[in-house]
Homo-oligomer: A and B are copies of this chain.
Amino acid sequence: MPPETRDALLDAAEELLDAGGVAAVTLREVGRRAGVSHNAPYKHFASKEALLAAVAARELLRRRDTLAGALAGAEPAEVVLRDALHRYAGWALSYPQRFKLIFGRWTIDSPDLAEAASAASAQLVDTVRAAQSRGTLPAGPPDRLAALLRAVAHGAADLEAAGHLSPTGKGRADAAGLVDDLLAHLRPGR
């Protein structure tokens, strides 16, 4: 285990991010919490922006792994798919600051990250294809269908996190419910 300060810095940054948003993560406070000088971070990250990118990268890789686990399940494709979309929305609502960090500035051009993202995306497309051949999703290009499903999960979670989902109580919708609505509308033969 070479650099253990590096992990301590990442942990401290993530903690500050979760607690107070990106504005609260301060290089100096990160150093303080990691027990090093206000200036040691520069030996591990080129800048504050680079530290934030590393936090985002770590979280994205974690997400990729849990998605892979969910999609590898033995259940029918439509169940696995619904579960994965619910998890996506649940994650966004549980860690809104990480969610916003990751999608707020996709200047993260590291090849591992791009690869992680496209691997996750490919897995989702595979599951969509499986559901299509089971007749639980309509025909059509599976990648567009996957993008549509993901857009709903993403948008509904973002709107719910921002409090923009029907604040008035009548037909109250939450992100998971909207995902279910879409899946129901997509079910063929009705």
By a beta-carbon cutoff of 8 Å, the part of chain A in contact with chain B is 21, 100, 103-106, 114, 117-118, 121, 138, 140-145, 147-148, 150-156, 158-159, 162-168, 170-171, 173, 175, 177-178, 181-182, 185-186
Which B residue sits closest to A160, measured CB to CB?
B151
Per the bound structure, the CA–CA distance linking A140 and B180 in Å amounts to 14
Return the contact of A168 from the options B106, B118, B177, B181 (Cβ within 8 A): B118
CA distance A19 to B36 in the complex (A): 35
User: Which single member of B105, B121, B141, B178 contacts A148 (CB below 8 Å)?
Assistant: B178
Q: Which of B100, B106, B143 contacts A171 (CB 8 A)?
A: B143
Q: Indicate how many identical chains form the complex.
A: 2
A148 near B154: Cβ-Cβ < 8 Å: no
Known: A143-B173, A181-B144, A185-B186. A155 touches B166 (CB 8 A): no
Q: A158-B154, A159-B103 are in contact. Are A166 and B147 (CB under 8 A)?
A: yes
19 pairs, A vs B, C-beta closer than 8 Å? A103-B162, A103-B164, A106-B162, A106-B164, A138-B185, A143-B173, A144-B171, A144-B173, A144-B177, A147-B156, A148-B152, A148-B185, A151-B156, A151-B175, A152-B152, A155-B155, A155-B158, A158-B158, A182-B182
Across the interface, do B165 and A155 meet the contact criterion of CB distance under 8 Å? Answer: no
A155 with B150, Cβ < 8 A, contacts A104-B100, A143-B171 known:
yes
With A143-B173, A155-B154, A185-B186 given, is the CB distance from A163 to B106 under 8 Å?
yes
7 further contact pairs, Cβ within 8 A, besides A100-B104, A104-B162, A106-B162: A118-B168, A143-B170, A144-B181, A147-B159, A147-B173, A148-B173, A153-B155
